Amino acid sequence: MRSDEAYQRLINSGIRPSLQRLEIMRYLMAHKTHPTVDDVYTGLCNKIPTLSKTTVYNTLRMFYDNGAAQMITIDEHRVCYDGDLHPHVHFFCNKCGKVYDLMDEQAPKQYRGDINGFLVEDSQLYYRGICPDCRAKMLKTETKTAGIQQVATKH
């Protein structure tokens, strides 16, 4: 990532760049893991000793409010952020808790505005289920368990 991409994104979104805002945006753009506030804080606290979780929370919220980042609300306890602004679908694994990008899926239009008198302030869509890695582990466990049961019934 070029160092000016984060700066340009902030400027284009109407956000005044500061050291902390730039580092948080750089982190978000570099880490495709859909980090939470805690993830971003943990990733930057050694680099910026004066950084607080409150600053990270407020900054990420500002990024979302100004269209500089996506916010994915998994539930009332987990909110993730995505620095990739290209339209794409997200998938949340119920087993491992990771959020994945499904870039080949056609994403619904992200919309904020008026629809027949309704003021839409946020629109989110993501799929929930079991990711391929967790699914493979489940199948392996099921196969192993079935093999043990077959051996037990033969004796």
Query: Is residue 25 over pLDDT 60?
Result: yes
Among 10-19, 106-115, 129-138, the minimum mean pLDDT is found in 106-115
CA distance 77 to 33: 17
Query: Is residue 11 over pLDDT 80?
Result: yes
Region 37-63 average pLDDT? 97
| The pLDDT of residue 105 | 82
Query: Is residue 144 over pLDDT 90?
Result: no
Per-residue pLDDT tens digits for 84-132? 988 888 999 999 999 999 988 887 776 677 888 888 877 777 889 999 9
| The pLDDT of residue 119 | 87
Going by C-alpha positions, the residue among 13, 110, 103 that lies closest to residue 5 is 13
Is 90 within 8 Å of 102 (Cβ atoms)? yes
- CA separation, residue 33 to residues 11, 39, 81, 89, 112 (Å): 24, 10, 9, 14, 25
> Residue 112 CA to chain centroid, in angstroms?
20
